[in-house]
Amino acid sequence: QSALTQPASVSGSPGQSITISCTGTSSDVGGYNYVSWYQQHPGKAPKLMIYDVSNRPSGVSNRFSGSKSGNTASLTISGLQAEDEADYYCSSYRSSSTLGVFGTGTKVTVL
């Protein structure tokens, strides 16, 4: 099953805002409000940052926000900090599959 499409890398300076896109189809991202985002630091397990497009789990900074338009979901990190440097993955429910699907991953670099 094909993965959701994310940019390979996104960068920004401390304090800036960046946005990571996650593009799918009407069978996954576009058809349902079931998109999640994960942050993964090197050598660590992924951490849930956003679920159901725009909901933040308890303990996740409000600098992280999610949205969706059509077949593309987005994760925005505002007030970029050095600790935000990590890989980010989106995930979505897909109607044609019993298992969900992950995005290709985006490396965020803080300049």
Partner 1 sequence: QVQLVESGGGLVKPGGSLRLSCAASGFSFSDYYMSWIRQAPGKGLEWVSYITISGNTIYYADSVKGRFTMSRDNAKNSLYLQISSLRAEDTAVYYCARVRGLRLYYFDYWGQGTLVTVSA
| Residues contributing to the site for partner 1 (CB under 8 A) | 1, 3, 32, 34, 36, 38, 44-48, 51-52, 57, 89, 91-93, 98-105
Shortest spacing between CB 98 and partner 1, in angstroms = 4
* Residue 60 or 63 with smaller CB distance to partner 1: 60
Give CA–CA dist 63/110, Å, rounded. 15
* Residue 74 or 91 with smaller CB distance to partner 1: 91
Sheet containing 64-69, strands listed edge to edge, beginning at the edge strand earlier in sequence: 18-23, 72-77, 64-69
Shortest spacing between CB 89 and partner 1, in angstroms = 6
Terminal CA-CA length for the chain: 35
Structure tokens at 111: 């300049």
* Residue 13 or 45 with smaller CB distance to partner 1: 45
Shortest spacing between CB 101 and partner 1, in angstroms = 7
Q: Spell 66-96 as b/e; 16+ CB within 10 A means b.
A: bebeebbbbbebeebeeebbbbbbbbbbbee
* Residue 82 or 99 with smaller CB distance to partner 1: 99
Shortest spacing between CB 92 and partner 1, in angstroms = 7
